Amino acid sequence: MTAKVRFYPAPLLRTLVAIACAFLLTRWSSLAVLALPWQPEQSVVAGMLLGFSVFAATVIWVFVAGSLRIACLGILPAGAFLMYFSQQGAL
């Protein structure tokens, strides 16, 4: 039995979504760490170190997900969580 090869018609759209989501999640995650009860200097450095992993993980997730809709559904709760805490961190 041979595996059915699927054709993905919109790699450009997926790429754009991946970059936009990765950028936003990275930004929010670096700000969300400021909400942790640490010294600000520590949170800033920790947020930067975390940021690259968040960026890479988001792009990989968008390409791993079976469809763009599933990818966005996965990102939505993470985005909401990070956005909420990024606003807490900004206070």
Partner 1 sequence: MIAPLGAGVRQRMAQLHRWTGLLLGWLLFVIFLTGTLSFFRQEITLWMQPERPLVSEMVPSALALEQASGYLQRHASEASHWTVTLPNTRDRLVHLNWRGPHGQGQAYLNPLGGEVIPVRDTRGGDFFYRFHFQLHYLPVLFARYLVGIAAMLMLLALISGVITHKKIFKDFFTFRSGKGQRSWLDAHNGFSVLALPFHLMITYTGLVTLMMLYIPWGLNQAFPEPEQRQRLISDVFAFLPAKPPSGEQTPMVALPTLLAQAEAHWEGAKVGRVQVSNPGDRHARVVMEARSDQPDLLGIRGHPPFLVFDAGSGEPLREKVSAPAYDTYGLLLGLHLGRFADWPTRWLYALLGVAGCGMLASGLILWSVKRRQKPGHSVVGLWLVDRLNLATLAGFPVAVVAFFWLNRLLPAAWPERSQWEIHGLFLAWLAMLIHALIRPLPAGWREQLGLAGALLLGLPVLNMVTTERGFATSLVAGDWLFVGFDLALIILAALMFRFARQKRAS
**Choice between 39 and 77, CB closer to partner 1:** 39
Coil, helix or strand at residue 25: helix
Determine contact, residues 57/3, Cβ cutoff 8 Å: no
Residue whose tokens read 């709760």:
77
Binding mask 50-89 for partner 1 (x = CB under 8 A): -xx--xx--xx--xx-x----------------------x
Provide the minimum distance between the beta carbon of 79 and partner 1 in the complex, in angstroms, as a whole number: 15
According to DSSP H, which parts of the chain are helical? 11-32, 40-64, 68-90
- Measured in residues, the chain has a length of 91
Residue 20 touches partner 1, criterion: CB under 8 A: no
Closest by alpha carbon to 79, among 15, 22, 17, 18?
Answer: 22
Provide the minimum distance between the beta carbon of 61 and partner 1 in the complex, in angstroms, as a whole number: 11
Residues at the contact surface with partner 1, assessed by CB under 8 A: 3-6, 8, 11, 26-27, 30-31, 33-34, 38-49, 51-52, 55-56, 59-60, 63-64, 66, 89-90
